[in-house]
């Protein structure tokens, strides 16, 4: 069974930094793209970033380019999201997601980590 | 690519059908010939759950009352007979090109 577990969320001041982690199990982590998707309170889903199997291909939504960095450690079955220069509008639940079925769709999701940016 | 869903909200009666439309601002046909359009369900307080991928392929374990149709820029999710557990918000998503984008969501309520 595929399992994804996010950690590292919390309260941070505007301009601050936070690093999210996602620990994966139940599948061959190094064989699959990994992504982050966020959801602001009471709002819809927004794709944030995706990373290919060996970490050489990274894609970001425009609103986080230059501030967020997605990375992975295949030896640790872990995905990361380093978030710098955080803004109030970054407040959201951040989900780790992957596509194991192979249809370029997010078939597996974690429970999410809440990031609150506020002074 | 902008994904537009209609309606925003859909009151339904258990046992009756429901339909959600999703339109993309440009064709979702990938250069490899596939169309990477998926549908997700999000129940209150839960992470999203994938229902349908590549327009019409139902994920294992998803009830067959859910079906997806469409092509190019116009897609539809149909629930043949709504059940109480189907309450939630439904999203379409395109993965044909980056940035990946979601529709704004359709709230299905009894």
Residue A28 DSSP code: -
Helices (H) and strands (E) in chain B, counts: 0, 11
- Give chain B's mean pLDDT: 97
Which positions in chain B have a beta carbon within 8 angstroms of at least one beta carbon in chain A? 34, 36, 38, 40, 42, 47-50, 53-54, 57, 59, 89, 91, 93, 95-96, 98-105
Residue B28 makes CB contacts below 8 A (sequence gap 6+) with: B1, B35, B36, B37, B72, B73, B75, B94, B96
B6: tokens are 């209609």
* SS3 call for A75: helix
How far is residue B82's CA from residue B14's CA, in Å, rounded to a whole number?
A: 5
Closest residue of chain A to B62, computed from CA coordinates: A107
Neighbours of B64 (CB within 10 A): 7
pLDDT tens sequence across B64-105: 999 999 999 999 999 999 999 999 999 999 999 999 999 999
Per-10-residue mean pLDDT for chain A, 119 residues long?
97 98 97 97 98 96 98 98 98 97 94 98
Select the residue of A35, A47, A112 nearest B101 (Cβ to Cβ).
Answer: A47
Burial of A101 (0-12, 13-18, 19+ CB in 10 A): middle
Chain A residues touching residue B42 (CB < 8 angstroms): 45
In a mutagenesis test of the A interface, which of B43, B45, B50 is the best target, namely the one with the most A β-carbons within 10 Å?
B50
How far is residue A40's CA from residue A29's CA, in Å, rounded to a whole number?
A: 27
Distance between B20 CA and the closest CA of chain A, angstroms: 16
């Amino acid at each position: 069974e595929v399992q994804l577990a996010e950690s590292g969320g919390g309260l941070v001041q505007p301009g601050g930094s936070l690093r999210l982690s996602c620990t994966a199990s139940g599948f061959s982590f190094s064989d699959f793209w990994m992504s982050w998707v966020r959801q602001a309170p009471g709002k819809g889903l927004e794709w944030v970033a995706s990373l290919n199997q060996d970490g050489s291909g990274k894609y970001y939504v425009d609103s986080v380019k230059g501030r967020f960095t997605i990375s992975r450690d295949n030896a640790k079955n872990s995905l990361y999201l380093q978030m710098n220069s955080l803004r109030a509008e970054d407040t959201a639940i951040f989900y780790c997601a992957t596509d194991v079925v192979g249809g370029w769709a997010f078939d597996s999701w974690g429970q999410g980590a809440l990031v609150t940016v506020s002074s | 690519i902008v994904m537009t869903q209609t309606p925003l909200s859909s009151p339904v009666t258990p046992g009756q059908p429901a339909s959600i439309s999703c339109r993309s601002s440009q064709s979702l046909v990938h250069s490899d010939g596939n169309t990477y359009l998926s549908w997700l369900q999000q129940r209150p307080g839960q992470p999203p759950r994938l229902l349908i991928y590549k327009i019409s392929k139902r994920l294992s374990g998803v009830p067959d009352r859910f079906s997806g149709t469409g092509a190019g820029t116009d897609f539809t999710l149909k629930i043949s007979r709504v059940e109480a557990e189907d309450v939630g918000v439904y999203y379409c998503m395109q993965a044909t090109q980056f940035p990946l984008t979601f529709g704004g969501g359709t709230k299905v309520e009894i």
